[in-house]
Structure 1
């Protein structure tokens, strides 16, 4: 049956009830009686040590691994009783190293599930272009390429586009960014945050990286062995009040700095900065420098992407040649990046500011060190107040316990 062209599926609730997986010959279950409710439209991240069962739990949701006990409900429908192939067409799935079919073009990979579910050809063509644009890839440039002609980051973007192509309410992601370099990984995380901001899917994401979990998750499930839930809460609650020593081990040192992953660049002041392009005449550049009140400009390329930081002295020493002048922009952040990303970029660039870019890399503004340090101080002060409040609660509890013990002693003496 064809999907209507206007169909837009938002998130769906997911309920796991006593979910269990036993493998033949194994004395203990791989996953043991896991119960959890995931709200429609939220991103839940499973994090835990290797072999704890987090990927097994994820794969049971779309029955890539069949459960041996328990129930899974998506929007109230018990999926343990329906055809697993039909279920997998309704649930997007993205894995490490993208999992693209090498003999298919980018467009064919993305079109796979819509074609299998009977969408009309015109709607499929439109959807492929729509999805490429959504993940920040130019349809004209990437439509006919094969996976081997893409970088690792581009392959992962296509993998996400394929998982979302049939507009499923649920997206399962099994360490999808684990095989790419750290810079590409940061950009892919930002892209996923932006997509979720627009699409409101229900995302279940598996990672072993707690910093990634903090950055992406609305809630985090910290899992022990056999997927026993050590703590299931918001990133902020886990950072400020870990349930036990096992969870504290995942949080690690520097909880206040980790909380920089909870604030997005779009939530702080993005300042304007004097810019010129590679086509701006040199005399005009000197004029803008004189009129800007600063000693530096940001040079943009012809697609308005940050290219070089230009100082007056650089231009003078390079005898007015833009080719030889300035310092290349090594790192940028998007509005969906975190303040930790921005702080790392500022410290790496060692220049006190980082350029903020849009979905196609175009210049938007600048975040500077002063803004970032103010945010760090606010987080540290919030942590100090939380610690004082926690200490006060402990003292009150001890006082009440002492008072109760004294009353008990007095009652015994009277008796």
Structure 2
């Protein structure tokens, strides 16, 4: 849809928590204790920590679903601590686990909820609903009138995100939004969020207990101790390579070098072309392409240009009878926003050692193969090895300097003693 003044998106606004504290009645100690945190406009900050550390409480105080006991909340240049909480929530997007959609409302009615509360015109609401469905990769014509029970878990979460973004808020709060779906759907939803952020530049505060998810999504990560005390607040790469202490190291866990595969996207590496054919092509044309191509197989695309089957030369006899009986269905694909870890997992499950890369609508873009991925893994491991050598070198220099200073101190003391 052409962009109009009504559908222009708003960039993110900064969030500042100043000495934010929550003490529940009857509790001897605060659930959240004196938290100071700044989320820059347009970035994704992840709150991660053990169960019960107060990360969700901290998040819910931003939109005042939980009222702080003390401290201030600033969004942009405005102190919202004493603002009408209902009005505040209408200016902040909120997405939770299991989508939180109203079951008696259609998809369109769920997405339109806040815009209608804000008094938007019917035309503006209608256009916004269609825009939001398209934005999260759902066909407006197909999903507009469905009810939540008629959607898969992943589709429900997409609608939940669309509803949170419908009124074009500068700030989006997400409380473990992908925690209730299967791992494959979760990966795709994470990719979708990353893609959306490239387009919208919202300020997102995201709670998760999954450190791998934090690495994949976050611009910065706040690792929280008990009562939401901040153990480390830094970029994913800095936390992986230089955890502040043993507590943070426990969250990083083993295999930090492999976890760094979550920092690199498929779009950052070489996506190569691969022979393709369409189901709409004449059979003889498909056979000729398969016989004369540089590979022993080709990728068959469906009517919408999406990866459908891998066809091998050995499948030719079956294909002559029917394409339906020939080839192997594409088991998995990755998007350009998928991480190298996602791609590696997909490649390892494919006998040929590659995975198809798709665009926003699932259309074929190219493939990533094992060779490309392994080259990147080796580069990461080599970078870690060189960094470890450099750290050892700096440590030796520091110890040598400390020894030199100590010796100089001893010499000076001996000189002074001699004079005495």
TM range (shorter): over 0.9
The farther-off stretch of 280-289 and 215-224 is 280-289
Tell me which stretches of 4 or more aligned residues in structure 1 moved more than 3 Å: 317-320
1:56 aligned partner: 57
Q: How far did residue 350 of structure 1 move?
A: 2.8
Relative to 1, partners in 2 of residues 1:166 and 1:396: Cα closer, same or farther, differing over 3 Å?
A: same
Q: Which residue of 2 aligns with 1:230?
A: 231
What is the rounded CA distance, in whole Å, between the counterparts of 2:44 and 2:370 in structure 1?
Answer: 30
Aligned residues of 1:315 and 1:321 also touching (Cα < 8 A): no
> Residues of 1 paired with 2:144 and 2:8: CA distance?
23
1:16-415 equivalence runs, <5 A = 16-317=17-318, 319-415=320-416
Equivalent pairs counted in the alignment come to 413
Contact map agreement 1:282 1:320 (CA 8 A) in 2:
no
Secondary structure at the aligned position of 1:250 is classed as helix
Displacement of 1:7 after TM fit? 4.1
TM-score with structure 2 length normalisation? 0.97
Is the Cα–Cα contact under 8 Å of residues 283 and 320 in structure 2 kept in the other structure?
no
> 2: distance between equivalents of 1:320 and 1:408?
91
CA RMSD in angstroms, aligned pairs only:
1.2
Sort the Cα spacing of 1:4 and 1:82 in 2 relative to 1 into closer, same or farther, 3 A.
farther
Per-residue displacement from partner, 1:206-265 (whole Å, max 9, x unpaired)? Answer: 000000000000000000110000100000000001010111111111111111100111
Task: State the SS of the aligned residue for 1:237.
Answer: helix
Retained in 1: the 8 A contact 2:291–2:313?
A: no
Normalised by the size of structure 1, how large is the TM-score? 0.98
Counterpart Cα distance in 1 of 2:325 and 2:278: 15
Deviations 1:91-138 (A, max 9, x none): 100000000001110000000000001111100000000000000000
Q: How many Å separate the matches in 2 of 1:393 and 1:94?
A: 46
Q: Distance in 2 between matches of 1:218 and 1:190?
A: 14
> How far apart are 1:319 and its partner, in Å?
4.7
- Output the CA distance in 1 between the equivalents of 2:318 and 2:170: 57
Q: CA separation in 1, counterparts of 2:7 and 2:197?
A: 19
Map Cα deviations across residues 243-299 of structure 1 (whole Å, 9 max, x no partner): 101111111111111111001111111111111122222211121123322110101
